[in-house]
Amino acid sequence: MKILKHLHTINTHKLMVMKMLFKVGLYKQGLLHDMSKYTYTELRVGAKYYQGYRSPNNAEREALGYSSAWLHHKGRNKHHFEYWIDYSTNKESAFEGIRMPVRYVVEMFVDRVAASKTYQKENYRDDHPLFYYEQGVKKLGNMIHPDTSKLLHHLLRKLAKEGEKETFRYIRKEILKK
């Protein structure tokens, strides 16, 4: 039953994100993280395209040329930089990334760590989220605000070098206390 396996993946990821957000003091975000994944729009895609080693949204995108679940998800979850894309006032480009509030950048960081752990399982290492981000950031152009990208990259590098415990302490004591 793909739906049960997909629900297990969602629940595992959500619980992991919640625990990490609690560690940095973002309790409300921890409780509310990714609630849209339980809506029919996102859940049916997960059930249909579930594979267990990557997001079902990628499989839907390959099959249809777009992902209805992702379009729904990113428009309802402020921890995705895509939520923060708006029309540009710059005549050089039509769209641009808007600076994300710090608490959502932290949630985006935690979400990436939890996603890496969820899909990498026992092969996970603290440098995986950094590697994944660096593979895709070159394609983003001005779709992610430079300040947002800088903070996210800083946290991912800190995780890769110093580990989870020290990075979460730093977020709680330095980043969120500013």
Nearest Cα neighbor of 107 from 9, 17, 169, 15 is: 17
15 found inside a domain:
no
How many angstroms separate the CA atoms of 178 and 172, rounded?
10
pLDDT tens-digit series, residues 24-48: 999 999 999 999 999 999 999 999 9
pLDDT tens-digit series, residues 45-102: 999 999 988 899 999 999 999 999 999 999 999 999 999 999 998 888 899 999 999 9
124 found inside a domain:
yes
Count of structural domains, the chain: 1
96 found inside a domain:
yes
89 found inside a domain:
yes
Whether the model clears a pTM of 0.75, i.e. scores above it, the answer is: yes
Q: What angle do CA 139, 143, 144 make, to 5 degrees?
A: 95
Domain of 161 in residue numbering reads as 77-175
How many angstroms separate the CA atoms of 49 and 110, rounded?
24
pLDDT tens-digit series, residues 94-124: 999 999 999 999 999 999 999 999 888 899 9
35 found inside a domain:
no
47 found inside a domain:
no
137 found inside a domain:
yes
